[in-house]
């Protein structure tokens, strides 16, 4: 083998090795980025409807107009006499209950609360049956305070549980 041929071979070998290492490094970076994204992005995507709902609420028009002859029941809260003590606010839907209170722990998984969207955490709990979930949500369980720390009626808590289950199906 001539001198120049062997140095070409040497160059080719080390060049391929460098290329190979760079490709392997890129694949490792890609895998790491995917696994980091799975935690944060997945969560953001799952909670997106909640986020959108709160944005919608914040940018809703401040004033609403009651129209004679139309169904104005949605405005009822606004027409209650000013200064009257508001009745203990009981959310009307499971979703409202969840966003007002339950999400404080269940959106992020505070103190080991099963996180919304964490199917692995919810599957065994859902498998216990709805009645057990209702009972535990109402009476409390471990770090889960009875009724999530509220004084809402049992029916409201059940709606909130139903809503949470629906987010984890």
Cβ proximity of 161 and 134 under 8 Å: yes
In whole angstroms, the minimum distance from the beta carbon of 152 to ligand HEC comes to 7
Q: Which is nearer to ligand HEC, 19 or 92 (CB)?
A: 92
Positions 85 through 104 that interact with ligand HEC (CB under 6 A): 97, 101-102, 104
Alpha-carbon distance 136 to 122, whole Å?
14
Name which position in 20, 37, 49, 112 contacts ligand HEC (CB under 6 A).
112
Positions 40 through 69 that interact with ligand HEC (CB under 6 A): none
With a CB cutoff of 8 Å and minimum separation 6, the contacts of 50 are 99, 103, 107
Phi, psi at residue 144, to the nearest 5°? -85, 110
**Contact flag: residue 157 with ligand HEC (CB under 6 A):** yes
Q: Which is nearer to ligand HEC, 72 or 126 (CB)?
A: 126
Residue 26 half-sphere exposure, CB side, CA atoms within 13 Å?
6
Nearest to 168 by CA among 128, 119, 127: 119
Interaction site with ligand HEC (CB under 6 A): 97, 101-102, 104-106, 110-114, 125, 128, 132-133, 136-137, 141-145, 147-150, 157, 160-161, 164
């Amino acid at each position: 083998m001539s001198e120049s041929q062997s140095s070409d071979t040497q160059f080719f070998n080390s060049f391929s090795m460098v290329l190979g290492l760079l490709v392997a490094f890129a694949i490792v970076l890609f895998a790491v980025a995917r696994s980091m994204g799975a935690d944060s992005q997945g969560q953001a995507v799952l909670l997106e409807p909640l986020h959108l709902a709160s944005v919608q609420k914040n940018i809703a028009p401040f004033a609403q107009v009651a129209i004679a002859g139309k169904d104005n029941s949605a405005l009822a809260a606004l027409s209650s006499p000013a200064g009257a003590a508001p009745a203990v606010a009981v959310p009307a839907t499971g979703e409202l209950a969840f966003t007002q209170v339950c999400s404080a722990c269940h959106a992020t998984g505070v103190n080991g609360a099963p996180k919304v969207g964490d199917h692995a955490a919810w599957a065994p709990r859902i498998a216990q049956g709805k009645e057990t979930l209702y009972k535990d949500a109402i009476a409390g369980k471990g770090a889960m305070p009875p009724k999530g720390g509220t004084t809402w009626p049992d029916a409201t808590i059940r709606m909130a549980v139903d809503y949470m289950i629906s987010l984890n199906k």
